[in-house]
Structure 1
Amino acid sequence: MVTAPVLWNNGKAYMFDGGNYYRYDVASDKVDPGYPKPISSGWPGLFTSRADAGVVWNNGKAYFFRGSEYVRYDIAADKVDPGYPKPISSGWPGLFTDRIDTSVVWNNGKAYFFRGSEYMRYDIAGDKVDPGYPKPISGAWPGLWTSDLDGGVVWNNGKAYFFRGSEYMRYDMAGDKVDPGYPSPISSGWPGLP
């Protein structure tokens, strides 16, 4: 199961599966040789048993969520900042306080957080959830599964990819809908992922 995928600015995406992670090379469109590896061997201070969701901000930090906690990961230093984990409720105004299924950062200054059959739109500059949320996934994300997403990541090609179980969907950001022909098996579109 693919959880907490994040796209780094080095041409790599990192995807998690339980206590392991995969490094995915965007240009060659496949998992790098030698993966999976244990989270404990490559992510100092990160949750070692699993990460539920992850987002990368433009401030050089990535944020990873598990249960009711989150950590702030310093990308340049390649480790979790001191003082983490912290409760989600203490650092994310208005956000779900536990069990975030996945999250994606859109190119509109917003991040979207999903839990169960609902989602929230988070204003990055304002550092808070926009008014009127949570809302149902159904009707707002045409063609997307309406509940229980495992992972989501935005590529630099105008597409977002969402994962659930052994399948994935490609979401066209400009068209605001899932592309035709999805869901598809992860094994057919993501070489080397579980």
Structure 2
Amino acid sequence: MVTAPALWNNGKAYMFDGGSYYRYDIANDKVDPGYPQRIAAHWPGVFPSRVDAAVVWNNGKAFFFRGTEYMRYDMATDKVDAGYPKPIAGNWPGLFPDHIDAAVVWNNGKAFFFRGSEYMRYDIATDKVDAGYPKPIAGNWPGLWASDLDGGVVWNNGKAFFFRGSEYMRYDIATDKVDAGYP
């Protein structure tokens, strides 16, 4: 089960599953040989046993969420920044304070965080949740599961992928709906 996929700026996506992770080569559309690997052995300071959600900002920082906490990971130094983990509450204005199921970043400066049957739109520039959230997934994400997403990631081709259990859906950002034939 993919719980926290994250697209890096090196053509790879990292997909977390329990205490393990997979490195996915986007150009070749497959998992790199030798995976899965243990999180604890290759991700200095990251939650070693479970990552609930992950997002990557365009400033070289990745954020990993678990329960009520998050970590900020510096992609250049390849390690968690000093002083982490920190509580979500008080550091992510307006965001769910715990149990984030999935997160994706659109190329318009907005990130979407999902929990249960709801989602929030987070403005990266203002560093807070937009007014009027949370909203229900149902009716706002055409064709997407109405609840309990496990993970989400956006490729550079305008497609977002959402995971739940052993299935996934491909969401077309331009048409704002799930592509035909999914899950």
Secondary structure (helix, strand or coil) at the match of 2:40 reads helix
Residue 133 (structure 2) aligns with:
133
Query: 1:43-82 to 2 correspondence within 5 Å?
Result: 43-82=43-82
Question: Identity rate of aligned residues, in percent?
Answer: 80
TM-score, normalization by structure 2:
0.99
Opposite residue 16 of structure 2, the aligned amino acid is F
Opposite residue 5 of structure 1, the aligned amino acid is P
Secondary structure (helix, strand or coil) at the match of 1:89 reads coil
Residue 165 (structure 1) aligns with:
165
Please report how far the alpha carbon of residue 64 of structure 1 lies from its aligned counterpart in structure 2 after TM superposition. Answer: 0.4
- Deviation digits for residues 90-140 of structure 1, max 9, x if unmatched? 310000000000000001110000000000000000000000000000000
Secondary structure (helix, strand or coil) at the match of 2:83 reads coil
Please report how far the alpha carbon of residue 81 of structure 1 lies from its aligned counterpart in structure 2 after TM superposition. Answer: 0.4
Distance 1:59 1:90 in 2: 21
TM-score, normalization by structure 1:
0.94
Distance 1:69 1:97 in 2: 8
Please report how far the alpha carbon of residue 153 of structure 1 lies from its aligned counterpart in structure 2 after TM superposition. Answer: 0.3
- Deviation digits for residues 148-178 of structure 1, max 9, x if unmatched? 0000000011100000000000000000000
After TM superposition, which residue ranges in structure 1, 4 or more long, deviate above 2 angstroms?
none
Distance 1:14 1:133 in 2: 29
Are 2:111 and 1:116 equivalent residues in the alignment? no
Opposite residue 70 of structure 1, the aligned amino acid is Y
Are 2:67 and 1:84 equivalent residues in the alignment? no
Residue 28 (structure 2) aligns with:
28
Unaligned runs of 5+ residues in structure 2 are none
Are 2:44 and 1:15 equivalent residues in the alignment? no
Q: What RMSD in Å do the two structures reach over aligned CA positions?
A: 0.4
Opposite residue 60 of structure 1, the aligned amino acid is G
Unaligned runs of 5+ residues in structure 1 are 184-194
Please report how far the alpha carbon of residue 57 of structure 1 lies from its aligned counterpart in structure 2 after TM superposition. Answer: 0.6
Secondary structure (helix, strand or coil) at the match of 1:73 reads strand
